[in-house]
Amino acid sequence: MRLVSLCPSLTETVFDLGRGEDLVGRTRYCVLPQPQAQAVEDVGGTKSPNVARILELAPDLVLLNEEENRRGDHEALVAAGVRCHTSFPRAPADIPPLLRELGGLIGSPGAGERLAREVEAARAALTMPPSAVSFVYLIWRKPWMGADRTTFASGLLEAAGGANALGRAAARYPALTLAELAVLDPARVLLSSEPFPFARKHLAELSAGSGLPADRFRLVDGQLLSWHGSRTRLGLPYAATCLA
């Protein structure tokens, strides 16, 4: 089977399903696993794929994510007769059925079942805190932007005992001021490593600007918290450590 993946976490999942050798195209952001992913042809960005080149590669299946990829590119592929699979998981509970489905689609049902059970076991092993830990998950600077509770990262953190202080916002990734952050008064402010590469200096900047104690701010691994798929089995226990 010839596969093209236009989402980094799905590319990694294909490798974890044992079908990495079937990949003939991936985006420039599909960097894991290393070095295997780099050996696959780069067909552009998640929101700027080279559709013409994808068609030349004659894939049997293209994997897309509704948040990462554009509707127009999906429609162009479908119009050209390319079989596509789209997904949009919002919480860890969505991952086991997705892994089973993908495993069946690409000829690795056994691996799909194994990974699905690993995610389910990771979820079951979580020890919930006595009360929910309020958090804000930041993804950007200038302006500061967070992730509301409809995002996958929020769903992962909520599964580990968190409560998103942003709730369900008007935008899934709302902008907020440091004054607004102070009013929210979260117990944890998590600074993701992607898409903005937060660093230690930003911890001090946020603490000074908001007036919140410095020990509430933490740098966190954005791949573990926002990449859905096979990585979720690692993201669940990691989310618990972020809130602890």
Burial letters 180-200, b for 16+ CB under 10 A, else e = ebeebebbbbbbbbeebebee
CA–CA gap between residue 26 and residue 99 (Å, rounded): 19
Could you read off the pLDDT of 61-89 as tens digits, one per residue? 999 999 999 999 999 999 999 999 999 99
What is the reported pLDDT for 84? 98
Identify the residue whose tokens are 């968190």: 162
Full-model pTM: 0.94
What is the reported pLDDT for 172? 95
Q: Are 139 and 172 in contact (CB under 8 A)?
A: no
User: With a cut of 70, which residues of the chain have pLDDT below it?
Assistant: none
Could you read off the pLDDT of 203-221 as tens digits, one per residue? 999 999 999 999 999 999 9
**Which domains are present in the chain?**
3-88 (3.40.50.1980), 133-243 (3.40.50.1980)
Burial class of residue 110, CB neighbours in 10 A (0-12, 13-18, 19+): exposed
Question: Which pair of structure tokens corresponds to residue 77?
Answer: 């592929």
Alpha helical stretches, state H, 82-174: 95-105, 109-124, 152-159
Give percent of the chain above pLDDT 70: 100
